[in-house]
Amino acid sequence: MVAERPTLETIWSWLDTVPDPEIPVISLTDLGIIRDVQWQDDTLEVTVTPTYSGCPATTIINLDIETALRGHGIEKLALKRQLSPAWTSDWMTDSGRAKLEGYGIAPPQPAGGPQHCPRCKSTHVEKISQFGSTPCKAQWRCTDCLEPFDYFKCI
Amino acid sequence: MSDHLFEYLCRMGDNTLVLGHRVSEWCGHAPVLEEDIALANTALDLIGQTTLWLDLAGEVEGAGRNADKLAFHRDVWDFRNLLLVEQPNGDFGQTMMRQFLFDAWHLLQLKALMGSSNAQVAAIAEKSSKEVTYHLERATDTVIGLGDGTEESHNRMQAALDKLWPYVGEMFVSDDVDAAMFDAGIAPDPASLRPAYDALLDDVFAAATLVRPQDDFGHKGGKSGKRHSEHLGHMLAQMQWLQRAYPDATW
């Protein structure tokens, strides 16, 4: 039993350390899918929005949030799904974008395509396919270093 | 009213379910790896949208059915999808033509539903429209690429268009369910989407060097459930066999 209930700031800091199950280099808070954390009496309510409606990671994400918070002693927990406003890649944090690029995935850009190759930084890139290894990514290729790479789609 | 809303939500969910299953039949069989991945991703989006629509349908019905029950425990006559989406895949070109004809309608429909008086319907439409924007973009590029491609690909795309055209009209025909949804401010009048649909098709077919069929005869009976084509039963037999053989099996 936790003597005093943890502050919301503390809870956010715990959630900062829960990795995305598909792209473990970024956290759930980097991704911007945790929309709200609130105490409703003695129950902690966490509001989560899905990235893509069919993304198989969604159930794992909910399970990971629950496991992490229970591990910190939260006993009464309610996870809420929020569809609107729909998730947008604009909600990804700057540190999340930097971590993605370091990992070899070009971060989302408003222009609709990657700024440069995440490996050699060349701006000569071309699209291979609008879809990639997960619903949130597209396949691109660098025409200088010739490496194919993932681009995190802008939605 | 709630009966009509249930019917309407089943129409939305059955469209994405049946098309999602059809598209997933390509998994491991597409002409190139990138197309295989793109088709699987499209199917995944559609199945995800199905879960949202059919869960809401079950909630509105209030008889304890959820998306899984509705997807796997109904037979042909209870399905409310458009005849277009249950048509067999044919070759890759026919699959992409079917996708284009559906996506072009789907995006207009979802954009209209974003202004629905029902907040849950509006939220699902908002979420889905982002995914469907990508589907339409890709289907458009593929129809243009293959239509304005080689003689062989052009002929196949024209044949696909001629074959599927009689299934387009059903999307724009109104019935009691549509009228009730329109009166309640939940959904658009189907006919109101036609001008924008025709304008998009004219542009894309011009770029694809394809000729839009003259005859606007349209088969009906899918969204009302009165007369599905012979293909849906075979598809459901494959999609539902496990739940039919072992009802309520879980893992």
- Chain B residue with minimum CA distance to A134: B41
Q: With an 8 Å Cβ cutoff, are B45 and A53 in contact?
A: yes
Bridge-partner residues for A44, per DSSP? Answer: A39, A77
Pick the more confident residue, B194 or B251.
Answer: B194
Q: Is the pLDDT of residue A3 over 80?
A: no
pLDDT for position A72: 96
β strands within chain B, DSSP E: none
Question: pTM of the entire structure?
Answer: 0.94
- d(CA A44, CA A70) in angstroms, rounded, equals 11
Cβ neighbours of B137 in A, within 8 Å: 130
- d(CA B145, CA A16) in angstroms, rounded, equals 45
Bridge-partner residues for B18, per DSSP? Answer: none
Q: Which of A84, A130, A135 lies at the smallest CB-CB distance from B44?
A: A135
pLDDT for position A63: 96
Count of C-beta atoms within a 10 Å radius of residue A32: 18
Q: Which of B168-185 are b and which e, b meaning 16 or more Cβ less than 10 Å from the residue's Cβ?
A: bbbbbeeeebbebbeeee
Express each pLDDT in A37-70 by its tens digit.
999 999 999 999 999 999 888 889 999 999 999 9
Q: With an 8 Å Cβ cutoff, are B126 and A155 in contact?
A: no
Express each pLDDT in B79-91 by its tens digit.
999 999 999 999 9
Kindly report the three-state secondary structure assignment for every residue of B35-80: HHHHHHHHHHHHHHHHHHHHHHHHHHHCCCCCHHHHHHCCCHHHCC
Cβ neighbours of A52 in B, within 8 Å: 44-45, 48, 131
Q: With an 8 Å Cβ cutoff, are A86 and B127 in contact?
A: yes
ipTM: 0.89
Mean of the pLDDT values across residues B112-136?
97
Instruction: Give the CA diameter of chain B.
Output: 54
Q: Which band of pLDDT confidence, cut at 50, 70 and 90, is reported for residue B1?
A: low
Mention every residue, 6+ apart, whose C-beta is less than 8 A from residue A6: A72, A74
Contact A150, A132 (CB under 8 A): yes
pLDDT for position A135: 87
3-class DSSP assignment, residue B140: helix
Contact B7, B80 (CB under 8 A): yes
In chain B, the percentage of residues whose pLDDT exceeds 70 is: 100
Angle between helices B151-164 and B119-147 (to 10 degrees): 140
**Pick from B68, B102, B63, B44: nearest CA to B223:** B102
- d(CA B243, CA B251) in angstroms, rounded, equals 12
Express each pLDDT in B158-183 by its tens digit.
999 999 999 999 999 999 999 999 99
pLDDT for position A111: 83
Express each pLDDT in B200-246 by its tens digit.
999 999 999 999 999 989 999 999 999 999 999 999 999 999 999 99
Sheet order of strands, A34-40 included = A34-40, A43-48, A77-81
A117: phi then psi, degrees, rounded to nearest 5:
-65, 130
Q: Is the pLDDT of residue B72 over 60?
A: yes
Q: Which band of pLDDT confidence, cut at 50, 70 and 90, is reported for residue B251?
A: confident
Compute the nearest-CA separation of B22 from chain A (Å).
16
- Which amino acid, residue B29? H
Compute the nearest-CA separation of A51 from chain B (Å).
9
Express each pLDDT in A97-152 by its tens digit.
999 999 999 999 988 899 999 999 999 999 999 898 888 999 999 999 999 999 99
Q: With an 8 Å Cβ cutoff, are B37 and A54 in contact?
A: no
